Amino acid sequence: MSFSGQVREELAKHISPARHCCIAELAAFIGMCGTVVINRFDQCSIKIHTENFLVARKVFTLIEKTFNIKTDIAVRRNTVKKSVSYAVVVRRHGDAVRILQAVKMLDEHEGRAEELHAVNPLVVQQTCCRRAFLRGAFQASGSMSDPRKSYHFEIVCSTEVMAGQIRGLICSFSMDAKIVPRKRSYIVYLKEGSQIVDMLNVMEAHVALMELENVRILKEMRNSVNRQVNCETANINKTVSAAVKQVEDITYLRERIGFENMPDNLVEAALARLENPNATLKELGESLTPPVGKSGINHRLRKLSELADKVRREQGGLL
């Protein structure tokens, strides 16, 4: 099972004890993947479509627990795509009206349907109800990438209005959600690992949250080790390249002008480098008598390189 499927499975098991939160979550299901069918006798019914059995069972449970209404579940199999889709159906007009009025998608006085693909602010006034609505929205049309590969959380909306409202609900929890159009849909998404962790916490997917945090910790440790190794490798390469250049300069000076024509302190440093081509500056300085500090030995080696360059110029050699 994918990580996204694990999150959806965990959320499907979460049934809020508060009626107003159940209504908010059900409002998300109806708004995101539901339709209201009105027949020629002006009688309405509700259909909520999903390709996930756990989501269908969650909707069934929410309606039964909150309204004591029995629903039907229709199953459709697509043999070509080898997929199964489910539809939770509220057939009786009176039951459908009760549900639509509770989720504020039907005016109680005038009896007219509101825009389905929008959430009434009255449904998500409380923080817990905003959590429940986002939980339902993710189960209805959300997905997450495998955190071991990348960090990406998204909820697919059919209208720009709904996308804007869901973005607003997410941002009310101090997150910075973005919207991008994709074909005929609008995608509300998060890309930062820390914000996706916060989102899982908001939706109360605590098991998935801990798994994601473990993945993040391992990735951060691996990245930290890689950075340290790369830094140390770069330093070693730099040190080796400098030592090779120093040995070449010292050898050139010995062959061209001889150590007897050079200052004693530079000769001492030159011999130390020839004897210890792989030693660090600190180790070279400590090998001298008396010992010389890191800056002191570096100064002498730099003088040797400058002297070698000067001799090359004077004798027509190549730098």
List pLDDT tens digits, range 283-311: 888 888 888 898 898 898 999 999 888 88
The predicted structure's pLDDT at residue 108:
47
**From CA 295, how far away is CA 301, in angstroms rounded?**
10
**Above 50 in pLDDT, residue 317?**
no
> How confident is the model over 40-70, as pLDDT tens digits?
888 889 999 998 899 999 999 999 999 999 8
Structure token pair of residue 72? 């039907």
CB crowding 41-60: b at 16 or more within 10 Å, else e: eeebbbbbbbebebbbbbbb
Average pLDDT score over the chain: 88
Q: What percent of the residues of the chain are helix, what percent strand, and what percent coil, each to the nearest 5?
A: 60, 15, 25
The predicted structure's pLDDT at residue 118:
67
**From CA 303, how far away is CA 274, in angstroms rounded?**
16
Helix, strand, or coil (residue 254): helix
Structure token pair of residue 244? 């090779």
Q: Residues 143-148: what's their mean pLDDT?
A: 91
**Above 60 in pLDDT, residue 111?**
no
The predicted structure's pLDDT at residue 120:
87
CB within 8 A of 138, min separation 6: which ones? 7, 8, 11, 155, 203
Q: Residues 22-27: what's their mean pLDDT?
A: 95
Amino acid identity of residue 42, one-letter, is D
Handedness of CA 234, 240, 245, 246 (dihedral sign): positive
Q: Residues 200-216: what's their mean pLDDT?
A: 92
**Above 60 in pLDDT, residue 24?**
yes
Pick 149 or 317 by higher pLDDT.
149
> How confident is the model over 220-250, as pLDDT tens digits?
888 888 888 888 888 888 888 888 888 998 9
The predicted structure's pLDDT at residue 241:
86
Q: Categorize the per-residue pLDDT at 107 as very low, low, confident or very high, splitting at 50, 70 and 90.
A: low
Supply the pTM of this predicted model: 0.71
Q: Using a pLDDT cut of 70, give the percent of the chain over it.
A: 95
Cβ(176)–Cβ(164) under 8 Å?
A: no
**How many alpha carbons fall within 13 Å on the CB side of residue 96?**
24
The predicted structure's pLDDT at residue 106:
75
The predicted structure's pLDDT at residue 116:
55
**Above 80 in pLDDT, residue 319?**
no
